[in-house]
Amino acid sequence: MTRPLRIAVIGSGPSGMYAADALASQSDVEVSVDVIDRLPVPFGLVRYGVAPDHLSIRSVRDTLDKVLDKPGVRFIGNVEVGRDISLAELHDYFDGVILTYGASRDRRLEIEGEDLDGSVAATDFVAWYCGHPDADRATFERLIPSSTSVAVVGVGNVAIDVTRVLAKTVAELDDTDMPQHVLDTLGTSRITDIHLLGRRGPAQATFTTKELRELGELLDADVIVDPADLAFDAASDEVIRTDKAIARNVEVIKEWSTRVPAGRSRRVHVHFLARPVELRGDDRVREVVVERTALDGSGGVTGTGELTIIAADFVVRSVGYRGTGLDDVPFDAKRGVIPNAEGRVERDGKAVPGEYVAGWIKRGPTGIIGTNKKDANATVASLMADAESGALPSASAGSAREFDDLLASRGIAAVSTAGWRSIDAAERALGATAGRARTTIHETGALLAASAD
């Protein structure tokens, strides 16, 4: 092949950017990479999933951004595969396609009343406070000022993020890049009580210690833990003994259980062995029916039949993410992933050279941001092996100019790397007007206008 190998990476989150980096960093074959995203801006869940008050984690964006400076790597935003262009058409212009579009939808509780007004997915709430263009502003701008008690279901870091954002004062969030309308809405909050519900015990929770500790350091929120919830069985004792992170978490929670409330305006109640079994309400959710569970000795729980009622007029479900299918791509609906062998997409049980997958849509929503680098590198290794063996199909059209012309002929306002740089500059300038490093621009139209500048 006399021209560079042309690869399309679908999705510009960590997996996509790490895949582009791996392709651009290898020296065996000259490669050009187009990182395609349906949004006008890159970085996926790093931009729209990491809590805005976690500035150090969000700074990963700066590392990912440097990939777009590498020769042969382009960002092409505001282009949705399956709407603006099909997978089959991508194969006309690219020798290989890597799907890295993640797992962006929520898992459901599957309990009665889950669809009552006021019951929302954490994915939607996080999208709102991060300034995602598709966020449902009206729902959260209605719920937050009208709620007094919130139940957050789940004991992972996203649940902790949601709880912390709701429990913080606006002054504690003012240095973040949250859109101004988010800060304004949080400033109208009358929420006094936030209940964090986990069906298992403290040793089975999946928090990281840093995020956990932050809950106990808020300016105007008491953290309350019932000592009766500090239940441990043989499996708990073993994992505490062998896992230092879990041991640290348990110590933090034990210390919370000894605290005397200081009379702050908000209270964060952390409940373990508490499984929601029903949401009840009238025109909106009003209460959560919770069953007391008991550890079963092997890391799981069993129901006790003991029920309690927690008042809540706002419920945030945070029990995990799930992947969704894409037109013309095989999909394992049960696991929420694209079936693959070493990153090669499988059709009818056979790997297909030219189609690859990385990240959460490859393996499920597990691991931390850095986990995606190793995962993406492994997928790129499979792609490069196919290229070396001659198994990779050759695109019929091939050139970047022809691909750009196709998008333009369809009236698609694709955002280039330069367009993203203009958006980035506009957000920094907007932030400077409020004494912040950045303020997120949240409307698609405004993002496209900024890209044109």
Q: Tell me, yes or no, whether 445 lies in a domain.
A: no
Q: To the nearest 10°, report the CA torsion of 320, 84, 34, 380.
A: 50
- Identify the pLDDT of residue 368: 82
- For the purposes of burial, counting CB atoms within 10 Å of the CB of 146, is it exposed (0-12), middle (13-18) or buried (19 or more)? middle
Q: Is residue 449 part of a domain?
A: no
Domain boundary among 289, 320, 351: 320
Q: What is the pLDDT of residue 135?
A: 96
- For residue 280, what are the contacts with CB-CB under 8 A and spacing of at least 6? 113, 116, 286, 287, 288, 289
Are 252 and 335 members of one domain? no
Are residue 76 and residue 116 in the same domain, yes or no? Answer: no
Query: Which residue type, as a one-letter code, is found at position 41?
Result: V
First-to-final CA distance of the chain: 38
**CA of 181: how far to CAs of 108, 176, 201, 444, in Å?**
28, 13, 37, 15
C-alpha to C-alpha distance for 136 and 134, rounded to whole angstroms: 7
Residues 406/412/418/422 CA torsion (nearest 10 deg): 170
Same-domain pairing of 29 and 138: no
Based on the domain organization, do 315 and 340 belong to the same domain? no
35 neighbors 359 (Cβ within 8 angstroms): no
Whether 286 and 174 share a structural domain: yes
What CATH number does the domain containing 35 carry? 3.40.50.720
Quick one: 150 and 268 in the same domain? Answer: yes
| Shared domain check, 120 and 245 | yes
Domain that holds residue 141: 107-320
| Domain end (from 296, 320, 344) | 320
pLDDT of residue 397: 67
Residue that finishes a domain, picked among 274, 291, 320: 320
Residue type, 408: A
What's residue 1's pLDDT?
A: 57
Q: Are residues 147 and 261 in the same domain?
A: yes
How many domains is the chain partitioned into structurally? 2
Task: Enumerate the β-bridge partners of residue 280.
Answer: 287
Number of C-beta neighbours around residue 65 at 10 A: 17
Q: Indicate whether 427 belongs to any domain.
A: no
Mean pLDDT in order along the chain per 10 residues (453 residues) = 88 97 95 97 94 86 95 97 95 96 88 98 97 97 98 95 97 96 98 97 92 95 96 93 95 97 97 98 97 92 97 96 90 93 94 94 88 95 95 80 94 97 98 96 98 90
| Nearest alpha-carbon partner for 394 in 44, 152, 92 | 92
Tokens for 301, please give them. Answer: 């729980």
160 with 59, same domain: the answer is no
User: Which DSSP category does 374 fall into?
Assistant: H
Q: Are residues 160 and 41 in the same domain?
A: no
CATH number, domain of 120, equals 3.50.50.60
**What is the C-alpha to C-alpha distance for residues 183 and 170, in angstroms, rounded to an integer?**
6
Three-class DSSP category at 100: coil
Tokens found for residue 286:
């009003």
Tokens read off for 353: 């050279």
If asked whether residues 43 and 126 sit together in one domain, one would say: no
Residue 451 lies in a domain: no
Residue 446 domain flag: no
The residue type of 426 is A
Distance between CA atoms of 208 and 194, rounded to whole angstroms? Answer: 20
In a domain, 450, yes or no: no
315 forms bridges with which residues in the sheet? Answer: 119, 151
Q: Are residues 34 and 62 in the same domain?
A: yes
> Among candidates 193, 204, 123, which has minimal Cα distance to 158?
123
Confidence (pTM): 0.94
26 assigned to some structural domain: yes
pLDDT score at 104: 79
Q: Is residue 438 part of a domain?
A: no
